[in-house]
Homo-oligomer: A and B are copies of this chain.
Amino acid sequence: TARNLFLLPGDGIGPEAMGEVRKIIAYMNEAMNAGFVTDEGLVGGSAYDAHGAAISEGDMQKALAADAVLFGAVGGPKWDSVPYEVRPEAGLLRLRKDLQLFANLRPAICYPALASASSLKPELVEGLDILIIRELTGGVYFGEPKEIIDLGNGQKRGIDTQVYDTYEIERIAGVAFEMARTRQNRVCSMEKRNVMKSGVLWNQVVTETHKAKYSDVQLEHMLADAGGMQLVRQPKQFDVIVTDNLFGDMLSDVAAMLTGSLGMLPSASLGAPDGKTGKRKALYEPVHGSAPDIAGKGVANPIAMIASFAMCLRYSFNLVKEADDLEKAIANVLDKGIRTGDIMADGCRQVGTVEMGDAILAEFKAL
């Protein structure tokens, strides 16, 4: 049976990075009979240029129908002053919301070959392996009212609303506990219960979910500001971190930066398993942005995009061996000292996007 992938390369370096994934897909179809069928659409600024929206209805339908969406990156100075409703990010936010991708998995892994690239002392990040589970369809990102009101007299009021319901917290906590069981079995939940009522509820529901179904997992609670501190101070104390949409945005970016390899970090955004088929809607996306300053120059690091495809193999198609091999191929290439500009180091060989993709594919073939 066909495996349907919908590709949304987006803006900036998105298309270049996606090009390297395409080669791996083609190879897997040819040599492994993987049966991937790909279609492609527009998202972000490129969608806006083509039809005045950050993603078209047609492409939304395709995304909804696909087994998995591969997403590049969106945004750039060209679209800095388009109306708020059609800004590039709106395409990504709509995909998350309409596909109900409530669980965002962001591994922060420090590749041994890159430990020295971190701004932290190497001994603090060597072997780092954190999984941040960020709630992705709730909170202040989507709560209403969300508006700017004109109060007269030159005064305006900007309003956003943070909203969390019990079931939303329960299901994301469930994902975190399940994931923890496949790892070191430890979850740290972060909120600001000392200031936010949604934080009070978050804390209660995580505690109850733990008690009811996951009491074998070790659970800790931390205030989100202290959590940010501890990530910088002693990142290896964490295994799985579960947190809300906005804190997850901040904390996962801090965690990503600790690894010294932002250009290498993937993410997966998953929906609930379908009642009948058990399949989850899913979108895979590098953590880095569109990097307009280096777009089109053939120098972007495609590793985060390729690693996102590895997550896709694992979570959407249960191709665990292939996922492991692809991740191993990336590590091997790094061990050989092959580097794009963003992770270049003394004694290494600097290559461009295509050469990096080729090197990883060659390793993948050889495994």
Chain A residues 81-123 with CB under 8 Å of chain B are: 84, 87, 89, 93, 119-121
> Out of B151, B199, B256, which one reaches A158, CB within 8 Å?
B199
**Stretch from A56-64, A225-233, A312-320 contacting the other chain:** A225-233
Q: How far is the CA of A246 from the CA of B167 in the complex (A)?
A: 25
Contact with B along A218-255 (1 / 0, CB 8 A): 00000011101101111000000000001101100110
Q: How many copies does the complex hold?
A: 2
Shortest distance from the beta carbon of A225 to any chain B beta carbon, whole Å: 4
- Which B residues are CB-close (under 8 A) to A262? 229
Q: Which residues of B lie under 8 Å from residue A247 when comparing CB positions?
A: 250
For residue A37, CB closer than 8 A to chain B, the reply is: no
Q: How far is the CA of A199 from the CA of B249 in the complex (A)?
A: 15
B232 touches A194 (CB 8 A): no
Chain A facing B: main interface SS: helix
B89 and A194 form a contact (CB under 8 A): yes
A202 within 8 A of B: yes
Most buried by B among A143, A200, A228, A234: A228
- Verify if A165 is at the interface (C-beta below 8 Å from B): yes
With a 10 A CB-CB cut-off, give which of A155, A158, A194, A257 has the most chain B CB atoms: A158
Cβ contact of A253, chosen from B157, B163, B225, B253, cutoff 8 A: B225
User: Looking at the complex, which one of B89, B124, B250, B258 makes contact with A224 (CB distance below 8 Å)?
Assistant: B250
A210 to chain B, nearest CB (A): 16
Q: Does A154 reach chain B (CB closer than 8 Å)?
A: yes
CB pair B147–A167 under 8 Å, yes or no, is no
Contacts of A194 in B (CB 8 A): 75, 87, 89
Specify which of A121, A162, A247 lies most central, judged by the most chain B CB atoms within 10 Å of its CB.
A162
CB-contact partner of A160 in B124, B198, B253, under 8 A: B198
Please tell me if the beta carbons of B201 and A158 are within 8 angstroms of each other in the complex.
yes
Tell me if A36 counts as interface (CB < 8 A to partner B). Answer: no
A196 within 8 A of B: yes
| Shortest distance from the beta carbon of A4 to any chain B beta carbon, whole Å | 30
Structural contact, A195 and B159, CB atoms closer than 8 A: no
Q: Within 8 Å of chain B (Cβ to Cβ): is A31? A: no
| A-B CB contact pairs (8 Å), 28 listed | A84-B200, A89-B194, A93-B195, A119-B121, A120-B121, A148-B201, A151-B165, A151-B166, A156-B201, A157-B166, A158-B163, A158-B200, A159-B198, A160-B162, A160-B198, A161-B161, A192-B249, A225-B249, A225-B253, A228-B228, A228-B250, A228-B254, A229-B253, A229-B256, A233-B257, A246-B246, A250-B250, A254-B254
